[in-house]
Amino acid sequence: MKYNALKGMQDIFSPDIYIWQKVEEVAKDVFSAYGFQELRAPIIESTDIFVRSIGETTDIVEKEMYTFSDKAGRHITLRPEGTAPIVRCYVENHLYNLPSPQKFFYSGPMFRYERPQAGRFRQFFQIGAEAFGVGDPKIDAEILSMLRLFFERLGLKGLNFEVNSIGCEKCRPDYKNALLDFFSVRIDGLCPDCKRRFDYNPLRILDCKVDTCIKLREGAPSVTDFLCSECKKHFNTLLSLLNLLNVPYVVNSDMVRGLDYYTRTTFEVTTKDLGAQNAVAAGGRYDRLVEDFGGPPTPAIGFAIGMERITTLLKSSSNQKIPIPKVFIAAIGAPAEKEGLVIADRLRDKGIWVEVGYTGNSLKSQLRRADRLSSAYVLIIGDDEISSGKLKWKRLSDGSQGEIAFTEVYDFFK
Ligand code: HAM
């Protein structure tokens, strides 16, 4: 029987895994400098959490969730994103009683039953960050600046920071009415999903991927023309702070996010190097969600980075450093093999990566393996070395070699 990974899911191993680890390390370093602490939430949550936050008429909820019943008949869903679980955790654990802002980062797999293609998977990994309790646009600017630093540290260049404001509950009704006016004369041409969206949530028509709907929405009213004075002020202050912090951005008033919970600031970091799936990170404010989940009114903002997309960019843009063993111990004969094993363990105890040859392998095949592993040094032990108390070392990069006493091995590699 031959098994394959499920469609849209992938295994990650060497050498790619080293890029993944590097990205995770950089994220942890950069986010920690901004006071974000790691939070690990479950991968499965009640379905309702996602329906309520992401929105019933979104593609994610309508088409893409891995939802099933557990043995007790509860409706549960593999998380399609990380924000809703963090908000659930924040409210459930009364974290709003702690001083604001509370700032968290998380990483892990998300699940969406999408049509797999380059850069789009059914299991994909995000690193995300969420900050709770501050409505001041200063924190929006800090978050975008943190993302800029993250990409800079990874050496990723040429990314576009697209920002927008989609207003609040005060300006939303006027915008919604303008959209209803606009689409009411075009409703016959809309896809069946959008005909339904027209009644429930006309904003979602702007996010439809069907060609006819994309054509029909040309010339639709823009949300930026409907912002209330507070939302305008928030957005303008954010833009001036981005200038102050040298975060390069473009305002993209056509940006529509695929999740309903956003208010005011939204943003996407995009690249020209990945084809259709061009967003490497995205996020925004969600000032109503904590309250919707039963907590006190709490403004919040966050983002998530798509790991597969970042690692693809890094693979094509950088010289990948793959770790190599420092020492390979080639031993011939039973006493030498035993001695080699003991030396290997002593060096490993000091954190040095050591590989050994195995019983029955000729010296030649052991040396070939050392070479294939690109080990920095080879130590050779045989009967002669055991009786002289000295072993031979060879540095593979330049072929230099010599002898050291068994007792000096650790000092030699220190
Ligand atoms: P999102 O835009 O749905 O936002 O996803 C964020 C990022 O995850 C995307 O920009 C993309 O890089 C990556 N991504 C999404 N779907 C896939 C997929 N099927 N395959 C590969 N990568 C994917 C959110 O998830 C929000 N929770 C972000 C957020 C946090 N907003 C506020 N806080």
- pLDDT tens readout for residues 244-270: 999 999 999 888 898 999 999 999 999
Residue 186: pLDDT band with limits 50, 70, 90: very high
- Out of 111, 126, 273, give the residue to mutate to test ligand 1, the one with the largest number of ligand atoms within 8 Å of its CB: 126
Look up residue 392 and give its two tokens: 């031979």
For 29-52, the pLDDT digits (tens) are: 999 999 999 999 999 999 999 999
Whole-model pTM: value is 0.93
Q: Is the shortest distance between the CB of 282 and ligand 1 below 6 Å?
A: yes
**pLDDT at position 160:** 96
Nearest CA owner, ligand 1 atom 2 = 282
Q: Is the shortest distance between the CB of 59 and ligand 1 below 6 Å?
A: no
For 344-362, the pLDDT digits (tens) are: 999 999 999 999 999 888 9
For 296-341, the pLDDT digits (tens) are: 999 999 999 999 999 999 998 767 788 999 999 999 999 999 999 9
Range 398-413 average pLDDT: 93
- Residue 285 one-letter amino acid: R
**pLDDT at position 277:** 86
Q: Is the shortest distance between the CB of 81 and ligand 1 below 6 Å?
A: yes
CB 389 within 8 A of CB 405: yes
Look up residue 366 and give its two tokens: 């052991």
Computed over every residue of the chain, the mean pLDDT equals 95
Q: Indicate the helix (H) or strand (E) that contains 37.
A: strand 37-38
Q: Residue 201's closest CA among 115, 254, 262, 252?
A: 262
Report the separation in Å between the CA atom of 305 and the middle of ligand 1, taken as the mean of its atom positions: 6
Residue 414: pLDDT band with limits 50, 70, 90: confident
Helix axis angle for 192-200 and 172-184, nearest 10°, is 140
Backbone angles phi, psi at 219, to 5 degrees: 85, 5
Q: Is the shortest distance between the CB of 111 and ligand 1 below 6 Å?
A: no
Q: Is the shortest distance between the CB of 124 and ligand 1 below 6 Å?
A: yes
Q: Is the shortest distance between the CB of 281 and ligand 1 below 6 Å?
A: yes
Phi-psi region of 324 (alpha: psi -120 to 50; beta: other; left: phi over 0): beta
**pLDDT at position 256:** 83
**pLDDT at position 218:** 92
Q: Is the shortest distance between the CB of 285 and ligand 1 below 6 Å?
A: no
Report the separation in Å between the CA atom of 126 and the middle of ligand 1, taken as the mean of its atom positions: 7
Report the separation in Å between the CA atom of 244 and the middle of ligand 1, taken as the mean of its atom positions: 27
- Out of 50, 58, 61, 81, give the residue to mutate to test ligand 1, the one with the largest number of ligand atoms within 8 Å of its CB: 81
Q: Is the shortest distance between the CB of 284 and ligand 1 below 6 Å?
A: yes
For 122-137, the pLDDT digits (tens) are: 999 999 999 999 999 9
Give the CA distances from residue 180 to residues 173, 175, 199, 263, 381, in Å, rounded to whole numbers and listed in that order.
10, 9, 9, 20, 82
Cα 247–252–254 angle (5° rounding)?
160
Give the separation between CA 157 and CA 267, rounded to whole angstroms: 18
Residue 164: pLDDT band with limits 50, 70, 90: very high
**pLDDT at position 248:** 95
Give the separation between CA 249 and CA 246, rounded to whole angstroms: 9
Report the separation in Å between the CA atom of 307 and the middle of ligand 1, taken as the mean of its atom positions: 10
**pLDDT at position 285:** 98
Nearest CA owner, ligand 1 atom 31 = 283
Q: Which 3 state secondary structure label does DSSP give 148?
A: helix
Report the separation in Å between the CA atom of 300 and the middle of ligand 1, taken as the mean of its atom positions: 17
Q: Indicate the helix (H) or strand (E) that contains 354.
A: strand 354-356
Pick the atom of ligand 1 nearest to 119's CA: 21
**pLDDT at position 208:** 87
DSSP-assigned states of every residue in 86-144: HHHHHHHTTGGGSPSPEEEEEEEEEE-----BTTB-SEEEEEEEEEES--SHHHHHHHH
Q: Is the shortest distance between the CB of 133 and ligand 1 below 6 Å?
A: no
Q: Is the shortest distance between the CB of 304 and ligand 1 below 6 Å?
A: yes
For 275-297, the pLDDT digits (tens) are: 888 999 999 999 999 999 999 99
Percent of the chain with pLDDT over 90: 90
Report the separation in Å between the CA atom of 88 and the middle of ligand 1, taken as the mean of its atom positions: 18
Report the separation in Å between the CA atom of 399 and the middle of ligand 1, taken as the mean of its atom positions: 49
**pLDDT at position 321:** 82
